Amino acid sequence: MVLLRNLEVFMRLSVRFATGLVLTLTFLLFSTATILSQDLNQQKQAKRKQVTELDAKLNSNPTPEEYEDLIKKREKIVAEIKAIDKKLMSDDAAMKKINAVKRASNYGNSALKLGQFPEALKHYNKAISLDSTFVQAHYGKGLTLKKQRKYKEALAAFQAAIDNNAAYSAAYLALGTTYSQLSQPDKAIQVYNQAIQYDPTSAKMHYSLGEVYLNKKKNYKKASNNFQKATQLDPTYDRAFSSLGVSLIELGKLDQAVMALENALAVTKKKRWEGPHYRLAVAYNKKSAYSKAKAAAIEALNNKKNYAPAAYEAGKACKELGQFNQAIKYFGIAGKSRVWKKTADYEIDLIKNRDKYGSY
C-alpha cells in the first residue's frame, strides 16, 4: 500500500515536472544563453589580453626564432577570438529568436483577452512561424479560433499543441471540451483517456471525463467512477463532489448522493452555489424526506432567486407535506420559466382541483 502511494506521488511529480518544464523552457533558454554569453565574453577578454601581451613582446626586439614563435601564438589566439565572436553572434541570434517568439505569443494573449481575434491570430501565427514547437502559441491559436466558431481549425491547433508536448494538460482539456460541445463525445472520451495515460493523477481530467459520461453518454456508472476518482485525487474538488451526487441520484444511490452533495457544500469556497442544494432537494424528495427536501430547495432559492428547478422541488415537497398554499406559491415561481411552466401549471391544477382528481 505504501509502495503504491509512493508510486502515485512519483507519477504526479513526474508529470508536473514535464508540464512545468515546457512552461519554463523559455526562461531556462534565456538563463542558459545569458550565462554562456557571459562566459564567452570573459574568455574573449582574456585572449585579447594575451594578444596585447604578445604584441608587447613582438615590439621588444625578440630573436628571429622567438619572433616566429610569438607570431604563431598570436595567430592561434586571434583565430580563437574570431571563433568566439562567431559563437556569440549565433547565440545572440538564437536569443533574439526566442525573444521574438515569446513576444509574438504574448501579444496574441493580450489581443485574445481584448476580444481582438484577427489580431490575436496574426501574432500566434507569427510565433508559430518562428518556432513551430511553441505549444503556448498553438494553444492560444486554438482558443482564438474557437471563439470565432472555427471549430475544425481550433481542434487542429489544440492537437498541434499536444503533438509538440504530450504532457500539456490545458490542450487536452480544450480539445476534449470542444469535441464534447460539437456532440462528438466518443472523441472527447478518447482525448481525456489519452491525457489520463500521461497523468493518471489528474483530478481535472477524471472530472472532465465524468462530465462527458454524465451529460453526453448518460452512462452514470462510468460517470460516478470518474467523479469518485477525481474526489480521491483532490478532496477539495467541489464540482466533482457535486457531479458525483448527480450521477448517484441517477443510479438510485440516494444516501451516497446526499453525502457527496453535502461534501461539495462543505469544501466549496463559493459564497453562493444553488446547484448542490437543488440536487439535495431532488434526492430528499426521492427518499420521501420532504421536510429536508423543502429546506434544501429553499436554500437553493436563497442562493439564486426564482431558480425554477429548486422552486419546483420545493413545491413537490410542500405538496407531499400537505402545505398546499406554499406548494402553489413555489410551483408558481417555477412556472415563470418557460421550460417548467407546463409541468408547474399541471401541479397547480392538481392541487386546486383536489376534489376532482382525488386527494393525496
Asked, for residue 70, whether it belongs to a domain, the answer is yes
Number of domains observed in the structure of the chain: 1
Asked, for residue 130, whether it belongs to a domain, the answer is yes
Q: How far apart are CA 24 and CA 102, in angstroms?
A: 12
Looking at residue 67, its amino acid is Y
Residues ≥6 apart with Cβ < 8 Å to 239? 207, 264
Asked, for residue 268, whether it belongs to a domain, the answer is no
Asked, for residue 258, whether it belongs to a domain, the answer is no
pLDDT at 299: 98
pLDDT at 7: 43
Q: How far apart are CA 95 and CA 85, in angstroms?
A: 15
Asked, for residue 33, whether it belongs to a domain, the answer is yes
Segments of the chain with pLDDT less than 50: 1-7, 9-11, 13-15, 17-19, 21-23, 25-29
Q: How far apart are CA 228 and CA 209, in angstroms?
A: 12
Place of cell 586571434: 78
Q: How far apart are CA 327 and CA 315, in angstroms?
A: 4
Asked, for residue 289, whether it belongs to a domain, the answer is no
pLDDT at 89: 63
pLDDT digits (tens, 9 = 90+) for 38-91: 776 787 688 678 867 876 877 788 888 887 887 788 778 767 777 766 665 665
pLDDT at 9: 45
pLDDT at 1: 44
**E strand intervals along the chain:** none
pLDDT at 346: 96
pLDDT at 40: 66
pLDDT at 168: 94
Asked, for residue 65, whether it belongs to a domain, the answer is yes
Q: Which domain holds residue 104?
A: 23-163
What is the phi-psi region of residue 42: left when phi exceeds 0, alpha when psi lies from -120 to 50, beta otherwise?
Answer: alpha
Asked, for residue 78, whether it belongs to a domain, the answer is yes
Instruction: Output the domain CATH number for residue 39.
Output: 1.25.40.10
Q: How far apart are CA 210 and CA 224, in angstroms?
A: 7
pLDDT at 6: 47
Neighbour count for residue 216 (Cβ, 10 Å) = 18
